[in-house]
Structure 1
């Protein structure tokens, strides 16, 4: 989280007459009897960040990230993506992905950031490879020699929402994560998501090989079932929903 960007966003809203009066309660001076949630504010104002002509494109993006820090509303990330795909876009890629990386490395980050990666950037085949490389792939090799806490936090969060990323794009990162015990629970959830997500993607044998290198308690929920469906060659839960149920039933 960028504290300065958050406070700049708060001042920007206040200039427009929008002020916070409670934990999740906001007041719009143009409608003093109405109370707004953070999501209401995001839907009304996040898009306006990209029309503020006092700011260049990088400044508009920084303002939008400040609104994200302030409101923790998924809709802000939607407006960021809309602006990137707008005919006047794309947004400055350095500032865009620096913004995501910074929030993924923070000790605390809102669900909006990882939700945005998962359902927008990673599920879209046109953006999945670039997004995954920017938020983790380019830096994954540093985990072998520099497993700093911020990088581990980023890697953990990205892995856990990376199910929709095409297997060839993420396989190397998954393989390196298998060498980092601190990432084993996140890697397991990544493999589980790669199997269960509607848009999940994996190669069964390669995923099974990785799973064999993940150190987890043997009674970890869904571990045995995942091994069974991968060993049977299943690629995705939604291609054969009965396979998971069959793997869950005890053998006679």
Structure 2
């Protein structure tokens, strides 16, 4: 199985303060890696570095074996994001439909999995893929529930069929039913689209169910890179037993 993402000795400093130190891991094709740790451990910063939103102080990120970001026109199509507060990531003056279609309009990709010949076809296909009624996309972001706007954010991320999606706390603030549906949706998308995920979360059960490997951060350092949470060291086990970070 080939590597989609490779992170090598990634370090990030801000005003001479070390936020992340020598982080290394890989994400294989059609797999998920979890990133967990206490608040302030560097999880979200790592996600932003992976997305190219921050520039590392040292180290490197490779996407399909090539340095990322490199500035090439279409490279950002390969990696998309679902942010921690999905409502805030939508333009409040646009319909949800227009926000979802924005990446497609920018990149105009040739789609492999979504046989859409028009934007209307694509909206219908995406709505079906994330389990929402297409009519909901005509609403404004604030008119959708937490679970609905989370699904709409996922629809936007998959609209250009990326190879990887970075998701920051995708189950935070969701009720039990919505959380279960999001987990089932991500499992389904991985099977049907072959997308890889980097999943940043405090939710241990969520990580355990979806991730083939988990990176455990503490104060900006990787204390464990493990295939089973139960195989981690004492720091990891303390939180596994508690059921949360």
Normalized against structure 1, the TM-score is what?
0.30
Q: Which has the higher contact order (CA 8 A, sep 6+)?
A: 2
Larger radius of gyration: 1
Higher helix share: 1
Normalized against structure 2, the TM-score is what?
0.30
